[in-house]
Amino acid sequence: MKFCKMMLFTFLLHSCQLGVGSSVLSVLADFFSSSYEMLRCPLYDCCNDYWIPNNITKLQLMIEEEVFGQHIATKIISRQIIAHLENPSPSKPLVMSFHGWTGNGKNHVAYLIAKSLYRSETKSRFYHHFMATVHFPHQEHAQLYQDQVRSWVKGNVTLCPHSLFVFDEVDKMPTGVLDGIRAYLDYIDTVDSVDYRRSIFIFLSNTGGKEITKKVHDIWLTGNVKREELTVSDFERLVELGAFNEDGGLQNSHLIEKSLIDVYVPFLPMEKLHVRLCAENEFKKQNHVPKNKEAALQKIVDGLNYYPEDKELYSTTGCKRVAQRVSLYIADERRSQRKKGRKEL
């Protein structure tokens, strides 16, 4: 590739020496430049339509097949992303904040979004995943982290406007860090000649998880409304207030004060039915059909913890431990089959 660039430079230098007109030079330069990109991009992650297909159909299909019990989240997220990507001139970046207890699908949905936007999926250099406990571990360094985040975001959006930033464990992030990118998320055409409006920002947080679960349980106790009838409006203000008041990266945040977060997405607590669906999907992903499917699924479901203790309605860990339990079950079943085979010999 360095050779291609050198050839282009040499050609332009000789053309100038020969007196070739500027308009001709411009056309020839564009030709060589596009040819260079054609040679480079089939083998490299580039900021173009081929490497960033924004495959919404793929996203909707994956969500349907791999996300369970989250009808509010899946509906609102799909709508927000479609609206953002189909808008030829968005007024600001898309900013979504996912809230709920661990294991309910926040991280998984963020991964599915990356997989649908980029041909290289989560390996794309335009997908950026930050974890608070890894990248921002010390409260006393909040100002340094703020400067680093501002620099990272600016550098990557300059490289490609169609960037996806996921900030994980926001509830464990030092307060004020995310305010470093406030200007980038606002209704502004450019900041220091960089246009951020086509980028997507996602915040993942356990903040509000307790309030979400309490509201779902209170509604269940009344028996007046089915879970599937709940909407984002039932939780959005509840989650917004929790995020603003509880400890973490969004506490007293200017992002909330200035209404720069487009939607607060509640992830509901998962019931046994949803855990069962997760287990069934995991067996499918591991390409294994249990000898007794019903017994296998029941064993996985019963092996997890639920609350309240007297009713066991909601999984304390969502589907987070299901993959591990399924792997153990498969290993035990295969070991048992091998022992049986040796006895028969």
Q: In sequence order, what DSSP letters do the residues of 287-301 get, joined into one string?
A: T---TTHHHHHHHHH
Q: CA angle 211-217-218, nearest 5°?
A: 85
Kindly tell me if the per-residue pLDDT of 345 is higher than 70.
no
Q: pLDDT of 226-272, one tens digit each?
A: 999 999 999 999 999 988 888 899 999 999 999 999 999 999 999 99
Q: Looking at residue 27, what is its pLDDT?
A: 46
- Percentage of the chain lying above the pLDDT 90 cut: 77
Average confidence (pLDDT) over 82-102: 96
| Residue position matching structure tokens 């987070």 | 320
Alpha carbon distance 104, 317 (integer Å):
8
Cβ–Cβ < 8 Å for 278, 321: no
Q: pLDDT of 112-151, one tens digit each?
A: 999 999 999 999 999 999 999 999 999 999 999 999 999 9
Cβ–Cβ < 8 Å for 162, 128: no
Average confidence (pLDDT) over 187-193: 95
Q: Looking at residue 2, what is its pLDDT?
A: 46
What are the Cα distances from residue 269, in Å, to 206, 281, 299? Answer: 12, 18, 20
DSSP category for residue 126: T
Cβ–Cβ < 8 Å for 164, 113: yes
- In this prediction, residue 33 has a pLDDT band, given cuts at 50, 70 and 90, of very low
- In this prediction, residue 336 has a pLDDT band, given cuts at 50, 70 and 90, of confident
What is the average pLDDT value for the chain, to the nearest integer? Answer: 89
Q: Per-residue b/e over 158-193, b at no fewer than 16 CB within 10 Å? A: eebbbbbbbbbbbbbbbebbbbbbbebbbeeeebee
pTM over the 0.75 mark: yes
Cβ–Cβ < 8 Å for 247, 240: no
Kindly tell me if the per-residue pLDDT of 323 is higher than 60.
yes
Q: Looking at residue 17, what is its pLDDT?
A: 53
Q: Looking at residue 43, what is its pLDDT?
A: 73
Q: Per-residue b/e over 299-325, b at no fewer than 16 CB within 10 Å? A: ebbeebebeeeeeebbbbbbbbbbeeb
